[in-house]
Structure formats: structure tokens, C-alpha cells
Amino acid sequence: MNKKMSIRLFKPSFDKEEIRSIKKVFKSPWLGYGEKVKEFEKKFSKYIGSNSVVGLNSCTAALHLSVAVNNFKKKKKVLLPAMTFSATAASVLYEGLEPIFVDINRENLSINFDDLRKKYTKDCVAIIAVHFGGHACEMDKIINWAKKKKLIVIEDCAHTLGGYFKGKKLGTWGDFGCFSFEDKKIISTGDGGILCTNDKKKYKILQSISFHGWSKDPWKRHIQSKQNKHWYYQVENLGYKYNMNNLTASIAISQLQKIKLFNKKRIEIIKIYMDKLKKLENFNFAIDYKLKNSCYWLFILKTKKRDKFINFLKLNGISSTVHLMPLNYHPLYKKYKGKTPIADKTWKELVSLPLFIDLSNKQINYIVKKIRQFDKNYHKY
């Protein structure tokens, strides 16, 4: 086997379709917010099954707007898993609210429903459910309970796109669904994101606050240019510059066309990993993968010698990383630490392996061979 192999952890998958698509935008030339964004929003809306979607520059923007549009009273509390990416909690702090860290499930790293109920207080106004690694949270239980408590439910779908829970697409269970098209994600536009909701009233505001709080977006002003005073708009809300642009949207359209294939390939790769690694002595799968109708972003192993294993992979040209250190370990979030024993213990053993569409069988076999080698000689490390 080739010792000089160098395998990335993630890699976006593009072909001439994306190049052709982006070239057209350059020829138009209308690079900013415009027709392509509208086209992508329409296609995404159909794909995900949500009436109203807003194309954005990131999932961080989607999360922030989902919180902001509700105008919660300052200092109210939002329940979210302790083990998530910082943007999930930042969206809460941006609005002067406080995160309450909820523990995770040992068997799938997603938010623990019993602890969610335990951590609830009367000051809670929302839940952010993160489908960690692509594993669906128990959305039926969460939604039913949240309704009784009058809590807004935001789904952080940064790690999934096209996965289902009990026959319903992730991102359409809650009041808001937030997706990421960042460089390493399921589909990639370099950076990008989208927000979906079925709340028509809030959708109007979301459209406005994603573009400076204007009453009319710049594309609408352009297409109305034959009308009198086409240029007129009013600043109705305190908005942000969070919009998607035509370049990003053109890549997103091409990527979305391939999503079925992408998700099929991801399942195939995970199946191979699981099959070839199931008999290891010193490793476990960190997630109880439910592959039917799924979209997983991460393949994660658990091992007690996590850091030594990561170094061993590095020496052998294989990238790996840790998803994720619980937020309370970061200085900014330290003061929000609650009782989350499973997150505190579990993250220390997590190692994410390479997972991307163009990962070849040869590469997978090499990764597996090296993991087996480490497992066999575990006592030496």
C-alpha cells in the first residue's frame, strides 16, 4: 500500500456543472442578490418541503435570524445541547439571551430529551435541536413537549440535508430549520446557508432582516425598473447583511441536483466503515447509525486513546479530528456550565474519520488497515 497517501477529512465534490453554472452568472453579469438566489430558494423549498425559505450567507446567519425574528425579551433562556458548534449558542448570545446547556445521549450524541425536560424553567423561550453528525433528534417528543410549554423549536441542520425522522424531513419539524453549505458540509458553496419556516408572517420579516431590514429587495427594485419610482424602499427593521448572492446560489443549484447521489454515497461509505471496523477491540461507533433515509455528515469512532490515535493517523497521512468539545470548555461559555456528565465524558473519546463523496475504496481500505493496525498494537501506544 502507498505509504505516501494523504487523505483529507472532508472535501467538497464538484464537476463541470458547477463551473458552467457559475460562468453563466459572470456572463450576466449580476453577481449579488438576484435571480439565481430566487431560483435556488424555489428549488430548495420544493426539495425540503417547506413553504418559505430564505437564502443566506451561512447557517450562523440562519440561526441568528431564527432567534432574532421572535423578539424574545432579553435574558430569557434557550435550551441547546452542550456539545455543539459555537454558532448554535452564539445565535442566543447575539440576542441578549442565555444558553442552557443540555446533556447528550450516550448512544448518538444528540440532545437528551429527559435532560431537556429537567433543564426547563419558566424563563425558557426556545430550544435549538442540533442533529449532531446528521443523527436525527427525537423530534416527535421534542415538538409535542415544546408545544405544551409554548417554546419555539429551531432545528440546527448544519450536519444534515435530506435526512428524515419518522418520514418527515429534518428541518421541517420545528418552527425554523437552518442549513449550512459551508466548505465541508453535505453540499458546499464555499460558504452559504438557508433558513426555512412555515410561518408566513415571520417569513416576511426574515426576508427583510436578511437584507438590511428593507421593505423591498434589490432584485425586486431592478425588475420593477420600468415602473415609476422603482428605486423606492423603506428601512422597516433593524436588519443584517446576511443574504445569499447569485454566485453562491448558482453553485448551490448544481449541488442540490446531486443531493440524492451524495446521500447515497455517504451511506455506502459509512456501511463499508461499519462493516470493516465492527470487530475492533478498542473502538466503538460513537453514533448508533440509522442509515435508512439518512444523511450523516460525520463518521465518528470512540476510543480511550483518542489523542494518540489521532497522532498515529496523522503520521500515516490520514486526517481526523474531534467533533466537538462541549461549549462550556470554551472561555466565553464557561459561566453557562450545567450538569452534563455524558457530554463531559464522551467528547474525550471522539474521533471523526474522513468522510466525503469522492473518498475512494482504495483510500477507505487504507484507513481501515491503519485503524486495525492501531487496534492490534493498542497496548504499545
Ligand X SMILES: Cc1ncc(COP(=O)(O)O)c(C=O)c1O
Size of the residue set binding ligand X (CB under 6 A): 14
Q: Which is nearer to ligand X, 195 or 313 (CB)?
A: 195
Q: Give the CA radius of gyration of the chain.
A: 22
Find the distance separating the first CA and the last CA of the chain, reported in whole Å. Answer: 23
Residues 130-159 within binding reach of ligand X (CB under 6 A): 130, 156, 158-159
Which of 40, 85, 165, 285 touches ligand X (CB under 6 A)?
85
Which of 48, 59, 92, 206 touches ligand X (CB under 6 A)?
59
For 231-258, b/e burial (b = at least 16 CB within 10 A) is eebeeebebbebbbbbbbbbbbbbbbeb
Q: Which is nearer to ligand X, 30 or 94 (CB)?
A: 94
Distance CA 127, CA 271 (A): 32
Q: What strands, in cross-sheet order, belong to the sheet with 77-81? A: 52-56, 193-197, 176-180, 152-156, 124-130, 77-81, 98-102
Supply the DSSP symbol for 46: H
Contact between 303 and ligand X per CB under 6 A: no
- CA distances 177 to 36, 172, 250, Å, are 21, 6, 21
Q: Which is nearer to ligand X, 85 or 312 (CB)?
A: 85
- φ/ψ (deg, to 5) at 234: -125, 145
Site map for ligand X, 241-280, x if CB under 6 A?
A: ----------------------------------------
Contact between 160 and ligand X per CB under 6 A: no
Contact between 351 and ligand X per CB under 6 A: no
Contact between 84 and ligand X per CB under 6 A: yes
Q: Shortest Cβ distance from residue 130 to ligand X (Å)? A: 5
Q: Are 158 and 178 in contact (CB under 8 A)?
A: yes
Contact between 58 and ligand X per CB under 6 A: yes
- Judged by the rule CB under 6 A, the positions of this chain that interact with ligand X are 58-60, 84-85, 87-88, 130, 156, 158-159, 180, 182, 193
